[in-house]
Amino acid sequence: MTAKSLAIYEEIVGRVAISQLKQIADDIEGARVVHVNSTKAGGGVAEILHWLIPLMNDLGLKASWEIVEGHDEYFNVTKSFHNGLQGNHVVLTPSMIEVYEQTVGKNADRLRPVLEEADFVFVHDPQPAYLLKLCPNRKGKWIWRCHIDVSHPYRKVWSYLKGLVSGFDASIFSMPHFAQSLPHAQFIIAPSIDPLSEKNCDIPQKEISATLKKFGISPELPVLTQVSRFDRFKDPVGVIEAFSLLNHAVEAQLVLAGGGATDDPEGEAVYREVVDAAQGNDRIFVLQLPSDAHRTINALQRASSIVIQKSLQEGFGLTVTEAMWKGKPVIGGNVGGIRLQVHNHHTGYLVDSPEGAALRMRELLRQPEKMLRIGQTAKQFVRENFLLTRHLREYLTLMAGFRHGLENDLIRV
Amino acid sequence: MAGHSETKNMPFAVKDCALITRMGGVDTAVNLRELRERIKVCPEACLFHHFMETLVRPSFDDPEFRNDFAVWSARYLRDRVLAERLGILNPYKFDNLKHLRETVVEIIDDRLSEMPFVPSVPKGDDFIFMQATTVVFDAGLTLDSPFELQKILPELSYSSLYYHFIEARRRTPQRVDDFTAWCYGVGDECEQLIEAFRTIDFYYLTLPELKKTLIEAIKPISLRGRHDG
């Protein structure tokens, strides 16, 4: 991913939004900001940091990105943390904790000078959280940025991690429902999308048409698309059931596009189930795409009349935000962050069953003007609230707030 | 206009603001009785957030009620009577948040007494108490005359409009918007502007609606002011 400067976002978000960022950043100009996570490649956190660091520097801060390095053993432990925080019962032995603390300890020897000198340290997720205890001479504020839904963690995992993160000056969660009670302020910063990323940028109609042609999808019939891993929580079979219930009352095609499942035994099994469920219907396209097929996904979403995200369990659901940014109405499962984004008749429809999804597919497909209106409303909401400039503004606001005392309701900078 | 002469001929520095939201430090509520108990003890910042700051929060929603308690009552408790009783409250008509709190609790008490059971919601639909800190910063713009508002309003960010026209009412001594407070100091030529600002029923409008309403309301006055000036 190439670093982009703030100026190129002005055309999308407007002069005022960029000016707001500059005005807030003026107050913390020169602040040394360090972000720490455990990988520079892959995953949502790395994706955020790839744009966040250059934009913070563009605004006059001294932002840098450090990673905690480790071997497979360490990542197996942190994967257990991750699963445990999401509520799965995992095994956490004293030797696993030793591996974790020793690995972070080695990293601390390398990172301590830069971390202890920083004005703000953002520690992303649990992987580097132990660093706090190993940096006793901290000068700045340390903030734990939790990207995971920790509302119902496995108690044994949480009890260990709570001991680590309680010492931070604050924490940030993506949604109020994801938060846990901690002895410091817990801020809410919702995720965002990058409108210029491969996943979301404008692409020429020619490329969209070529993508449809490549997969044998007709440009003449409306397309309904669900983009998600082949995972039972995304309910791809339920989407096929809903599509089948249309029973040709409205002519349309269904695309189920997901990431590569070859390295995931369960993903492969679900993919097979989906292919079986789709068998015999030549208007259903089940596409197994490589994990970096961002432009293909972008083209498929843009070619769609409606985007479906009929999840049975979901985090924030950024695929919904991405669809809305492309001006598409969304039929979404009535769960998690989808509920924050999809509002009936307004930005799409929330559904609780395949029948509900079929009903809304039919309703929307029969009313193209309604699809258009909903799509436009959805895009405007994303433009105003869920692009990366808003995300950046909230980080800046938090830092400015810290500098002036967050105990006040109103701070003048 | 006595008492406002200190602002006479003072330029108006346009400000903007950004919110950072945090958990309110109060347990969530899963039923109406719990909502009442939490409202009774929550920090005033929570009340302010759920009644007044809903307009400037990042959201995908444009709900039918302006305060979160009414929205929750309608959407999750599925009690439209309660939602409407709460939704009609204009928090800016109360002397202070203490009175607002008492009124909300009273409305809920009334509703509880009318119902044969305590309505509740499933886990996950609980009411989460939030609060926010507002960070105010310079928008990089100064006005010399209130009649310039017509020109700059279309360019003004929604958060700036919120800060000057809505949030101002909790910090100006006269409990008016910043534009009106400025006009008081300028003098009699602003009377019509003051009247136009006064008649806007701002609390029930979204910020885009408020901006449009303001522009329309002051258009003829601004034009006259420019010609007269």
DSSP letters spanning A117-158: H-SEEEEESSTTTTHHHH-TT--SEEEEE--S--SS--HHHH
| Backbone CA torsion sign across A242, A246, A250, A256 | positive
Residues of A within 8 A of B135 (CB-CB) are 24, 397, 400-401, 404, 411, 413
Has residue A82 got a pLDDT over 80? yes
Scanning A86-129, the segments in alpha helix (DSSP H) are 94-117
Nearest residue of chain B to residue A393 (CA atoms): B18
Distance in angstroms (rounded) separating the CA atoms of residues A25 and A52: 13
Residue B199 is assigned to a structural domain of this protein: yes
Most confident of A81-85, A157-161, A383-387: A157-161
CA of A69 to nearest chain B CA: how many angstroms apart? 32
CB A20 within 8 A of CB B157: yes
Q: Are A257 and A225 in contact (CB under 8 A)?
A: yes
Same-domain pairing of B203 and B119: no
Residue A170, H or E segment: strand A170-173
In this prediction, residues A28-55 reach a mean pLDDT of 90
C-alpha–C-alpha distance, residues A357 and A332, integer Å: 8
B58 token code pair:
């990042």
- B48 to A390: CB separation less than 8 angstroms, yes or no: no
Q: Which residue of B has its CA nearest to A386?
A: B58
Residues 14-43 of A with CB under 8 A from B: 16-17, 19-20, 23-24, 26-27
Interchain pair B59, A381: CB under 8 A: yes
Domain extent listing, chain A: 6-192+387-404, 205-385
**Residue in A with minimal Cα distance to B167:** A410
Prediction ipTM score: 0.89
Can you give the pLDDT at residue A320?
A: 94
Question: Is residue B135 assigned to a domain?
Answer: no
The sheet with strand A410-412 has its strands ordered as A62-67, A32-37, A120-124, A141-145, A170-173, A185-188, B12-23, B130-143, A410-412
pLDDT in tens, A314-344: 888 889 999 999 999 999 999 888 988 998 8
Q: What confidence tens digit (pLDDT) does each residue in A304-314 have?
A: 999 999 999 88
pLDDT at residue number A83 = 87
Q: Taking the CA atoms of A269, A274, A277 and A278 in sequence, report the sign of the dihedral they define.
A: negative
Q: Answer whether B160's CB lies under 8 Å from B139's CB.
A: yes
Whether A337 contacts A316, CB under 8 Å: yes
Query: Residues 187-206, chain A: which have Cβ within 8 Å of B?
Result: 187-190
CA quadruple A4, A5, A6, A7: dihedral positive or negative? negative
Q: Which of B16, B124, B134 sits opposite A177 (nearest CB)?
A: B124
Boundary of a domain, candidates B128, B163, B194: B128
Looking at chain B, which residue has its C-alpha nearest residue A182?
A: B25
CB atoms within 10 A of CB A47: 18
Q: For residues A339 and A23, give the distance between their C-alpha atoms in angstroms, rounded to a whole number.
A: 33
Shared-domain flag, residues B30 and B121:
yes
The residue in chain B having the minimum alpha-carbon distance to the alpha carbon of residue A344 is B61
Q: Which residues of B touch A16 (CB under 8 A)?
A: 155, 157
Q: Do A23 and B137 touch (CB under 8 A)?
A: yes
B40 with B60, same domain: the answer is: yes
CA distance B210 to B219: 14
* Cβ–Cβ < 8 Å for A328, A306: yes
What pLDDT is attached to residue A262? Answer: 45
| Cβ atoms B61, A348 nearer than 8 A | no
* B23 to A186: CB separation less than 8 angstroms, yes or no: yes
Question: Please, what is the Cα angle at A258 between A254 and A260, to 5 degrees?
Answer: 145
Range of the domain at B111: 25-128
Two structure tokens written together for A368? 């193209």
How far is CA A392 from its chain centroid? 15
* Residue A294 host element (H or E): helix A294-303
Tell me the percentage of chain A whose pLDDT exceeds 90: 76
CA separation for the pair A112, A281 (Å, rounded): 59
Q: What is the pLDDT of residue B5?
A: 40
The segments of chain B whose pLDDT lies below 50 read: 1-6, 229
Indicate if the pLDDT at residue A223 is higher than 60. yes
SS3 A399: helix
**Amino acid A87: pLDDT:** 87
What residues have CB less than 8 Å from B191, skipping those under 6 apart? none
Q: Is A297 exposed, middle or buried (0-12, 13-18, 19+ CB in 10 A)?
A: buried
Helices (H), ranges, B42-144: 44-52, 68-75, 80-87, 97-114
pLDDT of residue B229: 43
Q: Domains in chain B: how many in total?
A: 2
Nearby residues of A34 by Cβ (< 8 Å), 6 or more positions away: A63, A64, A65, A66, A114, A115, A118, A120, A121, A122
**Mean model confidence pLDDT for chain A:** 92
Q: By C-alpha distance, which of A185, A196, A161 is closest to A85?
A: A161
Residue B137 lies in a domain: no
Share of chain A above pLDDT 70, in %: 97
Nearest CA in chain A to B123: A177
Chain A neighbors of B208, CB-CB under 8 A: none
Per-residue pLDDT tens for B163-186? 999 999 988 888 899 999 999 888
Q: Is residue A275 less than 8 Å (CB to CB) from chain B?
A: no
Query: Best residue in B23, B60, B97 to probe A by mutation, most A CBs within 10 Å?
Result: B60
What is the Cα–Cα distance from B54 to B207, expressed in whole angstroms?
11
Query: Do the first three CATH levels of A6-192+387-404 and A205-385 match, i.e. the same topology?
Result: yes
CA pair distance B39, B82, nearest whole angstrom: 15
* Residues of B whose CB is below 8 A from A408: 133
Could you tell me if residue B117 is inside a domain?
A: yes
Q: Which of A19, A384, A401 sits opposite B20 (nearest CB)?
A: A401
Distance from the Cα of A236 to chain B's closest Cα (Å) equals 24
Say yes or no: domain A205-385 is CATH 3.40.50.2000: yes
AA letter at A272: R
Spatial separation of the C-alpha atoms in residues B132 and A189, rounded to whole Å: 12
- Within a domain: B20: no
Average pLDDT over residues A141-148: 95
Q: Which fold has domain A6-192+387-404?
A: Rossmann fold (3.40.50)
Nearest CB partner across the interface for B136, out of A179, A393, A410: A410
What are the tokens at A101?
A: 């603390």
Would the pLDDT of A86 be above 50? yes
Residue B127 to residues A39, A177, A352, B35, B131: CA-CA distances in angstroms? 36, 10, 21, 7, 13
A180 touches chain B (CB under 8 A): no
Burial A112-137 (b: 16+ CB within 10 A, else e): beebeebbbbbbbbbbbbbbbebbee
Chain A closest CA to B199's CA: distance in Å? 27
- Residues B95 and B148 placed together within one structural domain of the fold: no
Q: Which residue, chain included where needed, has tokens 């596009």?
A: A257
State which residue of chain B sits closest to A16, comparing Cα positions: B157
